[in-house]
Each structure stands twice: as C-alpha cells, then as structure tokens.
Amino acid sequence: MSHPSSRFAAAAIARLGFWKAHRFLLLRRASQITVLTLFAMGPWAGIWLLQGNLSASLLLDTVPLADPLTTLQVLLTGHLPQFQLLLGAMLIGLFYGLLGGRVFCSWVCPVNMVTDFAAWLRRRFKLPRTPELPGKFRYFMLALVLLLPMLTGFTVWEWLNPVPILYRALLFGNVTGISIIVAIFLADLLLAERLWCSHVCPTGALYGLLGKLSPVKIAAVKREACNNCMDCFSVCPERQLLKPALKGQQRLISDADCTLCGRCIDVCAAEVFQYKNRLNKEFQRFAHKAENEQ
C-alpha cells in the first residue's frame, strides 16, 4: 500500500529523515557539479585541474582521460588515435569497469540532471505512464554510432552527442546544438519516461557493457520487509530490474543496465536495498542461505 501522504517517498522521509531519504540523490548532484566545476575552473579562473571535457581531458596536466566511445569512433574512422587518447580510454574503461559502467550515467553525466528534472516533473504533475521503447534499443543505437565512422570516415556522433554540447553551453556559453538538449527534455517529459537515458543513449549502452562484471551492485537484502509501496518503481530509471530482485530467486541486481544511482535505497522506508560487493564472501553466504530458505 502507498503511504497516505501525497508527498513522494513520504514514508521514507518520516522514518529515515530528509538526509537519509535523499542522500544518494544529493551526493550524485554534488558529484556531477564537482566534475563540471573542475572543468570550469580552467576557462573561468585559469586553474587548470582538468583540461578539456568528458570526451577527452587531461588531469593535472599529466593524466590523460578519454571517453571510450569517442576513442572507438576515432579508431573506426581508420585513423590511429594518439597514444594519450588510447591510454585515457583504457584508464576510464578500467575505472568504470570496476565501479559499474553506468555509474557514469547517474553520478557524472550532466544530461542526467536534465532527464531527472523531466522525471521529477512527471511525478509532480502526475503525468500518465507512457509506452516505453524496448530496453535494448540503446544497443542498436550503439551499433549505429560505431558503424557511421566506418561508412563516413568521421566521428559523426560527436556532432550530436548531448554531453559535450551541454558542457560547451554551460562552460563557454556556446548554445550551438542546445536544441538537442531541449528535445531530450521534452521527449522525456511528454513522449516516454526516461526515453533518452534508459532507451536511446549509446554512451550509456557502452558503459553498461564495460561494467557488466563490476563487483559493485545493489541488492534487495531485506526484501521480506517490502510492503509494495512502489516508491522504488516510481523513481528507478531502470525499474524492470527491480522485480527480479524483489520477487525472484536472485536478490542481487546484477544486470549491467542498473545505473547504481541509489534512489531505490533513498526512498525505501523499509530499507530493503543496499549497495553490496558481490565478491564479498559474507554477502555470498547470506545470499546463498536466503535463497535456499525460499
């Protein structure tokens, strides 16, 4: 049963307090704004901690960082990228492979703030549920993005990629292409829930593949306490992953599509969900015992 209050996640706020019912949302916003600020300190204040953008950058004028999808596109144009770009892509790929690939989507990507705002407006104004695209459509988009450089010899996707477009707008006031950001917002708000991040974005698709074997996952460790309030389903960007963890044989949300945003942990008054290291022997024993008792 839903909490009688009309306020979203009212039960979690009442039982856990405002901070605990919003902590991962607030930490994600702090993470996204911190990354943006590190890039902005160069052009705004002349303090170049991070030079470049999320496509390719240099940390402390020494450590190269690069988007693996951008690097793959350069390779597929038939040109060998500079060693720094290759090294940067490998470092980023390893980092998100360990943490969980789509953690980029919820903790770093600035477009997530746009799509989260659209999702908040949908809840705020109780807009009706809309049909969703097939969950794997983003992988078709990824294949298309990787095919285009082979056919054209250009990194075509980077002309349309909303992440650098939004960064250029925020850091340099360059509004060229900002209509793409507006279109993503309106599509999420009016056409289908989480249309961009959950169904279309090829960058998210690649990061999901990179993080497939990550040890960091979310688990429904106290699913017996679930009261079917559905708050986690309302807020989760990949809600199709929740039912197997709550009702199936496996408590662990092991699917790479999970963004590890932590909002299911925030809004659950019963504290059903937790971050877990699936390689931890204590957790493995707990999960094995729990499943055997069913």
List pLDDT tens digits, range 180-198: 999 999 999 998 888 999 9
Together in a domain, 197 and 124: yes
Q: Is residue 42 part of a domain?
A: no
Together in a domain, 163 and 190: yes
Together in a domain, 205 and 271: no
Together in a domain, 158 and 244: no
Q: Which residue has the higher pLDDT, 94 or 290?
A: 94
Averaged pLDDT for residues 241-264 = 92
Q: Is residue 274 part of a domain?
A: yes
Together in a domain, 221 and 127: no
pLDDT digits 0-9 by tens, 93-144: 999 999 988 999 999 999 999 999 999 999 888 887 766 666 688 999 999 9
Residue 3 pLDDT? 42
CB 242 within 8 A of CB 236: yes
Q: Is residue 50 part of a domain?
A: no
In terms of Cα–Cα distance, which of 109, 132, 105, 126 is closest to 187?
Answer: 132
Q: Which of 168, 184, 210 is the last residue of a domain?
A: 210
Per-residue pLDDT at 27 exceeds 50: yes
Q: Is residue 224 part of a domain?
A: yes
Together in a domain, 139 and 189: yes
Averaged pLDDT for residues 58-65 = 93
Residue 40 pLDDT? 93
The count of domains in the chain is: 2
Together in a domain, 85 and 195: yes
Together in a domain, 75 and 153: yes
Per-residue pLDDT at 1 exceeds 50: no
Per-residue pLDDT at 294 exceeds 70: no
Residue 11 pLDDT? 93
Distance from C-alpha of 86 to C-alpha of 13, rounded to nearest angstrom: 46
Residue 4 pLDDT? 41
Residue 290 pLDDT? 64
In degrees to the nearest 10, what's the CA dihedral of 39, 209, 268, 125? 70
Residue 7 pLDDT? 75
Share of the chain above pLDDT 90, in %: 71
Of 84-88, 155-159, 281-285, minimum mean pLDDT range: 281-285
CATH number at residue 266: 3.30.70
Q: Is residue 88 part of a domain?
A: yes
Share of the chain above pLDDT 70, in %: 93
CB 249 within 8 A of CB 223: no
Residue 189 pLDDT? 93
Together in a domain, 285 and 193: no
Q: Which of 161, 182, 210 is the last residue of a domain?
A: 210
Q: Is residue 85 part of a domain?
A: yes
Residue 196 pLDDT? 93
Per-residue pLDDT at 49 exceeds 80: yes
Query: Containing domain of residue 201, as a range?
Result: 68-210
Together in a domain, 253 and 199: no
Residue 130 pLDDT? 66
Q: Is residue 120 part of a domain?
A: yes
| Band (263; pLDDT cuts 50, 70, 90) | very high
Averaged pLDDT for residues 26-30 = 97
Q: Which residue has the higher pLDDT, 104 or 80?
A: 104
**Maximum Cα interatomic distance, the chain, rounded to a whole number of Å:** 60
CB 90 within 8 A of CB 75: no
User: 35-39 contacts: CB < 8 A, separation 24 or more?
Assistant: 35/108, 36/110, 36/167, 36/170, 36/171, 39/167, 39/171
Together in a domain, 90 and 146: yes
Q: Is residue 144 part of a domain?
A: yes
Residue 284 pLDDT? 75
Together in a domain, 188 and 130: yes
